[in-house]
Amino acid sequence: MKRYVPHLTISGAALVVAATHALWPNVKIDASTMVLLLIAVLPWLGFIFKSVELPGGLRVEYPELQKAREEADEAGLLAEPAHEQPAYLSVFEDDPNLALAGLRIEIERCLRGIAEAKNIPVGRASISRLLRILREHNALSQQDGAVLSDLLGLLNSAVHGAEVDPRAAQWAMEVGPRLLAGLHKRAQG
């Protein structure tokens, strides 16, 4: 919850100002109110979009992928990949969304491998449920689960057709194999 404090503070302040502005009877909702409402929503757009470009050339970047890589590295989820390239990399040039969807599938396959290696019954659980089960059985730490959950949110947006920033696809090329190698190690050890 601590990670949402800046989002909540910015949104709350902008909403209070917008509500106050709108409550005055002689003031109509105008451009000022709309800008304040946009400011209220802006921090939350990072969960959906990599960047937001506003009129006038203002661009807001959301560096989730770099953050996800750093968190995965801190959690010990990254390892040196084997010489064999993951299959999803073969479609990278033609369809970055498909490559990110492939990475998501490979992560799920690794998580199921961890569950199987630890004799944890998961059945046909969704990937979010799978993460919860693995955390409950201490097969993944809370930090591991949080990092993977954040990353899967990003990958799911690509699966559902969100436009993929070329840097996001490049990230999948560079960090994805290391993440999969780290998860494979956990399934084996």
Do you know the residue count of the chain? Answer: 189
Closest-CA residue to 157 (of 50, 17, 32):
50
Q: Are 112 and 122 in contact (CB under 8 A)?
A: yes
**Helices in 24-117 by DSSP H: which ranges?**
31-41, 64-74, 96-117
> How confident is the model at residue 111, as a pLDDT?
93
For position 25, what pLDDT does the model report? 59
pLDDT at residue number 132? 92
Q: Spell out the residues 6+ positions from residue 43 whose beta carbon is closer than 8 angstroms to its own.
A: 6, 7, 10, 11
Q: Dihedral angle at the C-alpha atoms of 180, 168, 153, 80, nearest 10 degrees?
A: 20
What is the per-residue pLDDT for 83? 64
Mean pLDDT calculated for residue range 54-59: 53
| Domain ranges across the chain | 2-62, 66-188
Q: In angstroms, rounded to a whole number, what is the distance separating the alpha carbons of residues 155 and 160? A: 9
Classified as helix, coil or strand, 22 is helix
CB-count burial class (<10 Å; 0-12, 13-18, 19+) for 84 = exposed
Q: Rounded mean pLDDT of the chain?
A: 76
Sign of CA dihedral 179, 181, 185, 187: positive
> Residue 160 has what pLDDT?
78
Radius of gyration of the chain (CA): 20
Give Dmax (Cα) for the chain.
69
Mean pLDDT, to the nearest integer, of 46-60? 53
Per-residue pLDDT tens over the stretch 7-36: 677 777 777 777 776 777 566 666 666 677
Residue 112: pLDDT over 90: yes
Amino acid at 64: E
